[in-house]
Amino acid sequence: MKSNLKVNIDKADLKRGVRLVVKIGTSVITNNKNAVCEKMISALASQIATLQKEGLKVIIVSSGAIAAGVHRMGWKQKPKKISHLQAAAAVGQVSLVEAYEKEFKKNGLTTAQVLITGEDFSSRKRYLNSRATFETLLNENILVIVNENDTVSTDEIKVGDNDTLAASIATAIQADLFVILTDQKGLFTENPVSSSRADLIRSIDVDDDILSKVASKSHSEFGTGGMKTKIKAARMVARLGIDTIIASGFEIDILLKIKSKNFVGTTILSGKKNKSISARKQWMLNHIKAKGKLYLDSGAINALVQYNKSLLPIGIVKIDGRFDRGDLVVCMTDEGVEVARGLINYSSLEAEKISGLASGQIEKALGYMEEPEVIHKDNLILISSSFEDSNTIGANSSKAEQ
Ligand code: GLU
């Protein structure tokens, strides 16, 4: 069945190249003994070589390091202790990248390895640096293989799962399409493992309510995701107008079939999301974790939503959370519906003192005035109702550096 995928990946823009981010799950890339599956990598390599020749640029986000490390170390099962998991990742990443390098080389492709942590997205400077590196590698037609830097990632700086990591990369490089290859054929109406009535969803809009319902929590032993994180990742990229395909990595020539729009799988259509928001706002929206909530009165909500105004202290009714100047906060209605996100000019302690006041009273209340607005409109992004299951990685982020 032909898919109704929007992007025309048949006709590559030869200058920029049509960009695909392909996330490959642990269960696809390792075999039942947890060893890296060279046959799978070989199949992917020949497909990607074909795609590259046709002007497509591919970035691979590959899981599998921990599983491969467990295999290499001769352990019977995935350890629980963090330091053991990190050691396994260190060992396994070598086997993984070695296998990719070998198979891609056979197909005439040069590979690069990029290991990333949440901090590389939440710090604006590091984000811009890594984005520039990705651009260079893409322009040089190098096949980039990305994984989380599991060996150094602690809870605070961890992205946590490669679905989210891959979505972050897709937004950073403005991918044309985001592909998640997993051990399932796609999204089902019910859990296909436990229900015989489960139907494959071929195509669905990212705002469709069904998506929230199908977010099953199925986990494989080594993968951290499950369908829930895949849907969350699809929502993340959809904000920038990028469609997602979830398909089986075991289907023969799946990437080539996706290119010809003739594949079995689920397409999550981005709808008409805002592809034109500035790069800085994209970064804010997708890569920093909100530190607090501001509950606003109806006047303030109207000013934000209808007139694209800045947020003034007078419209704030209640404040939740602890945050510093420059942190990302969420603006809510009194019923708890999120309407906007933005970088705040005041800390939570300061905001408590000035909420409900006119801007002219800030100086009297604090003894100084940073800015008349609590959030300037340039640092504010309005949110559609589909935002509720929001992403946000990189818990360490605080200051907007630019
Ligand atoms: N980074 C992990 C690994 O390579 C995988 C994380 C995930 O499954 O999402 O094993």
Distance, CA of 5 to CA of 244 (rounded, Å): 9
pLDDT tens, position by position, 281-323: 777 777 777 889 999 999 999 999 888 899 999 999 999 999 9
CATH 3.40.1160.10 domain span(s) along the chain: 19-269
Model confidence at 402, pLDDT cuts 50, 70, 90, reads very low
The pLDDT tens digits for 209-265 are 888 777 654 545 555 557 889 999 998 898 888 999 999 999 999 999 999 999 999
pLDDT grade for 387, boundaries at 50, 70 and 90: very low
Give the Cα-Cα-Cα angle 250, 393, 318 (nearest 5 degrees).
140
- Give yes or no for residue 392 CB within 6 A of ligand 1: no
Q: Do 308 and 350 touch, CB atoms closer than 8 A?
A: no
What is the Cα–Cα distance from 64 to 81, expressed in whole angstroms?
18
Q: How far does the centroid of ligand 1 lie from the alpha carbon of residue 66, in Å?
A: 7
Residue (of 23, 21, 30) closest to 222 by Cα position = 30
CB atoms within 10 A of CB 213: 10
Which of 144, 257, 180 lies closest to 25, judged by CA? 180
Cα 314 to middle of ligand 1, angstroms: 46
- Token duo for residue 46: 């020949």
Of ligand 1's listed atoms, the one at least distance from the Cα of 148 is 1
* CB-ligand 1 contact for 63 (6 Å cutoff): yes
Residue 2 has a pLDDT of 59
pTM of the model: 0.80
CATH number for the domain running over 19-269: 3.40.1160.10
pLDDT at 159: 84
Q: Which atom of ligand 1 is nearest to the CA of 161?
A: 9
Cβ of 286 closer than 6 Å to ligand 1, yes or no, is no
Closest by CA position to 316, among listed 351, 363, 281, 270? 351
What residues have CB less than 8 Å from 94, skipping those under 6 apart? none
395 Cα distance to chain centroid: 14
Beta carbons of 150 and 65 less than 8 angstroms apart: yes
pLDDT single digits (tens) 78-91:
999 999 999 999 99
Q: Which amino acid is at 87?
A: A
Rounded to an integer, what distance in angstroms lies between the CA atom of residue 44 and that of residue 313? 54
Note the CATH number of domain 290-399. 2.30.130.10
Q: How far apart are CA 201 and CA 190, in angstroms?
A: 10
Q: Where in the chain is the domain with CATH 2.30.130.10?
A: 290-399
384 confidence band (pLDDT: 50, 70, 90): low
For residue 118 and ligand 1, the question of a CB distance below 6 A is answered with: no
In short, whether 223's Cβ falls inside 6 Å of ligand 1 is yes
Atom from ligand 1 closest to the CA of residue 63: 4
R_g of the chain, CA atoms, integer Å: 22
161 lines ligand 1 (CB under 6 A): yes
What contacts 346, CB < 8 A, 6 or more positions away? 325, 354, 370, 374
Find out whether the beta carbon of 150 lies less than 6 Å from any atom of ligand 1. Answer: yes
